[in-house]
């Protein structure tokens, strides 16, 4: 007798890190049923001079908080007000202030096996394609089993590599 197997979808967790105003700001992503991602708690703010191990620990925390919502009843009733609150919690008054130079943005995705860091272009919107929003820098991919210090070093090197090229 043949057994039928349903292919399991792989859940890729994601988060973003902003380097702005001498700080690193970590924010988790949640995913709406329609696939749109939006920021969610926890929001972690570290000084730019934080130890690599503390940076790696923060990366794990925001990735661990990723959630894929199955129905719209789980989403905030007023998404605009919700996102305004997230922005305020991040320490900024407007999205323009957050996503303007010299701010840098790194998108982090994690699968069961890997964690990937991609530097993002600033000044583009969610309406732009992901390839347009990705900076002209090769992504950095580590094993999901990497220690916190290695994760922190990879994030800082991703930011610094772009800075060296400009």
- Name the token pair of 166: 């400009």
Residue 57 phi, psi (nearest 5): -65, -40
Task: Give the CATH class of 13-165.
Answer: alpha beta
The helix or strand, by DSSP H or E, that contains position 108, with its residue range, turns out to be strand 104-110
Q: Calculate the average pLDDT of the chain.
A: 84
- Which of 42, 14, 25 is CA-nearest to residue 159? 25
What are the tens digits of pLDDT across the range 30-81?
A: 998 888 889 999 999 999 999 999 999 999 999 999 998 888 888 888 989 9
* Higher pLDDT among residues 12 and 125, named by residue: 12
Question: For residue 4, what pLDDT band results from cuts at 50, 70 and 90?
Answer: very low
Q: Give alpha helix (H) positions in the chain.
A: 52-64, 79-90, 95-98, 130-133, 148-165
Question: For residue 166, what pLDDT band results from cuts at 50, 70 and 90?
Answer: very low
Peptide bond into 102 cis (omega under 30): yes
For the cut 50, the answer to whether the pLDDT of residue 3 exceeds it is: no
Cα 71 from Cα 117, distance rounded (Å): 29
Confirm if 149 and 56 have CB atoms less than 8 A apart: yes
Over pLDDT 90: what percentage of the chain?
Answer: 56
Domain layout of the chain by residue ranges: 13-165
* Higher pLDDT among residues 135 and 47, named by residue: 47
């Amino acid at each position: 007798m043949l057994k039928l197997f349903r292919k399991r979808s792989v859940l890729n967790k994601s988060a973003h890190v902003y380097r702005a105003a001498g700080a690193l700001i970590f924010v988790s992503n949640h995913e709406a049923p329609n696939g749109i991602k939006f920021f969610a708690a926890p929001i972690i703010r570290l000084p730019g001079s934080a130890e690599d191990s503390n940076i790696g620990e923060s990366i794990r925390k925001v990735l661990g908080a990723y959630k894929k919502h199955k129905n719209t009843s789980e989403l905030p009733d007023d998404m605009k007000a919700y996102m305004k609150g997230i922005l305020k919690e991040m320490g900024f008054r407007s999205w323009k202030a957050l996503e303007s130079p010299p701010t840098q943005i790194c998108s982090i995705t994690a699968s069961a096996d890997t964690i990937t860091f991609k530097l993002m272009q600033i000044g583009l919107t969610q309406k732009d394609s992901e390839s347009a929003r990705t900076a002209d820098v090769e992504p950095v991919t580590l094993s999901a089993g990497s220690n916190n210090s290695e994760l922190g070093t990879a994030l800082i090197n991703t930011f610094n590599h772009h800075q060296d090229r400009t």
